[in-house]
Amino acid sequence: MISTELKLPCGAILKNRLVKAAMTERISNRKYEPVKGHERLYEHWSNTGAGLLITGNVVIDRKHLESAGNVCFDDEGMLPKLKSWAEAGKKNGNHIWVQISHSGRQTNRFATTRPLAPSEIQLNKMGLFGKPKAMTEEDIQEVIKGFVKAARLAKEAGFTGLQIHSAHGYLLSQFLSPLTNIRTDKWGGSIENRSRLLLTIVREVRKEVGADFPIAVKLNSADFQRGGFTEEESLDVVKMLDAAKIDVLEISGGTYEKLAFFLMNEEGVVLKESTKRREAYFIDFAKKVRAISTLPLMITGGFRSYDFCNEVLENGEVDLIGMGRPFITNREDIPKFLKGEITNLKNLVLRTGIKQFEDSAEGGFYARQLIRFSKGKQLKVNMSPLWCSMFLVIYEFKKAMAKKI
């Protein structure tokens, strides 16, 4: 089943059901343009045989970066480089989609000390984020225009689709959550108002790219924070996205404050081993989505075995299997995995032994591997967990300072 085609509502056809999910590359040049390293990364991933590759965060505003190494789709002058990236990433008949985002309050201090956000609710994590400024109506309209422009550039460059990032605590996710959106105007309050920005962007992007260009949305199942965006509200948004006729819905969860890549309940409590019955993180929520929507559904997170991937596809629980880290640790194994010749992929976990550093250690480890791959180097498993835990802050600082010189 994983090797079968999938026809999307817009008419586009994916050659199989395996997706390289978005992972931030962090390697743009000083002008926030793609580099040869992007072409090298995506050519290798195209060679894996996956039906769809989704880029890491491509931002719409260079003042609101997720990483100092983000590419920013805001300038027609970079189209030749964008075209080279797209060509490298689709050389084997696969799709390559651009993940478009705005970081909002999750923009770190190296980019701006006063990021724009729905409300002035600061992100408190390692002192890296400034107090946000509540967006004006003009700011909101500029964000809508930014998403539309990025979508137009993506299509002109030859990318075959796009994904609007409305998960993981980025700007559109911030608007959805009552913890970060306490507005009293038409952009806040009820879930209909809090979802207005996402739905407006979907509608305007569709007008720009046309009916036959794939549009996906990445949406949290929940924020896993008490008082935050809930599963019930997420299902309400799914119904709206169904009516908006998007082409793929990717389910994820969590924010910078509550990472979802540990199995947790909505209060953020890590579940006991006995309750982790299945391999994929969000498979139970997917069943609830299936009950109310016919949208093609993708889940990322946890998939590692060939048999389980095929089981959930054959059962109709999902339509697409998203994987991130296996495209780093098992990049050379993916072609054989698609054929069933390799039936299990590694689940490499890096641990420092210090609870506060575990998230940053894993993030740093995988970021370093992507940077190595972009330079033509191979996977290096033997890395210091403590050094990896410090890597991202040091790297982001150096990258940001280099762009300001």
> In 3-state terms, what secondary structure has residue 263?
coil
Residue 19: what pLDDT? 98
Residue with tokens 């697409």: 320
User: pLDDT category, 148, cuts 50, 70, 90?
Assistant: very high
- Per the model's pLDDT, the better-predicted residue between 140 and 255 turns out to be 140
Which two tokens mark 74? 């805001």
3-state SS, 196-259, equals HHHHHHHHHHHHHHCCCCCEEEEEECCCCCCCCCCHHHHHHHHHHHHHHCCCEEEEECECCCCE
From CA 218, how far away is CA 248, in angstroms rounded? 9
Percent of the chain with pLDDT strictly greater than 70: 93
209-217: average pLDDT? 98
* CA 380-381-384 angle, 5° bins: 100
Q: List the one residue out of 48, 93, 92, 95 whose CA is nearest residue 335.
A: 48
Lowest mean pLDDT among 7-11, 269-273, 349-353: 269-273
From CA 321, how far away is CA 19, in angstroms rounded? 6
- Per the model's pLDDT, the better-predicted residue between 127 and 314 turns out to be 314
pLDDT 10s digits, 252-310: 876 655 554 444 433 334 444 433 445 577 888 999 999 999 999 999 888 999 999 99
pLDDT 10s digits, 17-26: 999 999 999 9
Please give the single-letter amino acid code of residue 255: T
pLDDT 10s digits, 70-93: 999 999 999 999 999 999 999 999
Residue with tokens 């609007």: 164
Residue 69 CA neighbour count, 13 Å, CB half: 22
Q: What are phi and psi of 6, to 5 degrees?
A: -135, 120
46-69: average pLDDT? 96
Task: Measure CA 153 to chain center.
Answer: 19
pLDDT 10s digits, 234-243: 999 999 999 9
Which two tokens mark 298? 């993708």
Residue 275: what pLDDT? 34
User: pLDDT category, 128, cuts 50, 70, 90?
Assistant: confident
Lowest mean pLDDT among 137-151, 218-232, 268-282: 268-282
Q: 97 with 161: CB under 8 angstroms?
A: yes
Residue 261: what pLDDT? 46
Residue 172: what pLDDT? 98
Q: For residue 109, give every residue at least 6 positions away whose Cβ sits within 8 Å of its Cβ, in sequence order, or none.
A: 128, 129, 130
- Burial group, residue 13, by CB count within 10 angstroms (0-12, 13-18, 19+): exposed
Q: What is the mean pLDDT of the chain?
A: 91
Q: 31 with 82: CB under 8 angstroms?
A: no
User: pLDDT category, 354, cuts 50, 70, 90?
Assistant: confident
Cα distances from 213 to residues 53, 104, 220, 250, 346, in angstroms, run 15, 27, 23, 17, 34
Q: For residue 300, give every residue at least 6 positions away whose Cβ sits within 8 Å of its Cβ, in sequence order, or none.
A: 19, 21, 250, 251, 252, 322, 323, 324
- Per the model's pLDDT, the better-predicted residue between 109 and 99 turns out to be 99
> In 3-state terms, what secondary structure has residue 145?
helix
Cα distances from 4 to residues 95, 160, 283, 303, in angstroms, run 15, 19, 20, 18
Residue 222: what pLDDT? 81
Residue 173: what pLDDT? 96
Residue 257: what pLDDT? 53
pTM of structure? 0.93
pLDDT surpasses 80 at 215: yes
From CA 285, how far away is CA 34, in angstroms rounded? 36
From CA 105, how far away is CA 43, in angstroms rounded? 33
Q: 121 with 105: CB under 8 angstroms?
A: yes
Q: If you count DSSP H runs as helices and E runs as strands, how many of each does the chain have, helices first? A: 13, 14
Q: For residue 402, give every residue at least 6 positions away whose Cβ sits within 8 Å of its Cβ, in sequence order, or none.
A: 30
50-59: average pLDDT? 97
Domain ranges of the chain: 6-347, 349-405
Q: Which CATH class is domain 6-347?
A: alpha beta
Cα distances from 105 to residues 117, 218, 251, 315, in angstroms, run 5, 18, 22, 39
Q: 343 with 306: CB under 8 angstroms?
A: yes
Q: Residue 251: beta bridge partners? A: 219, 299
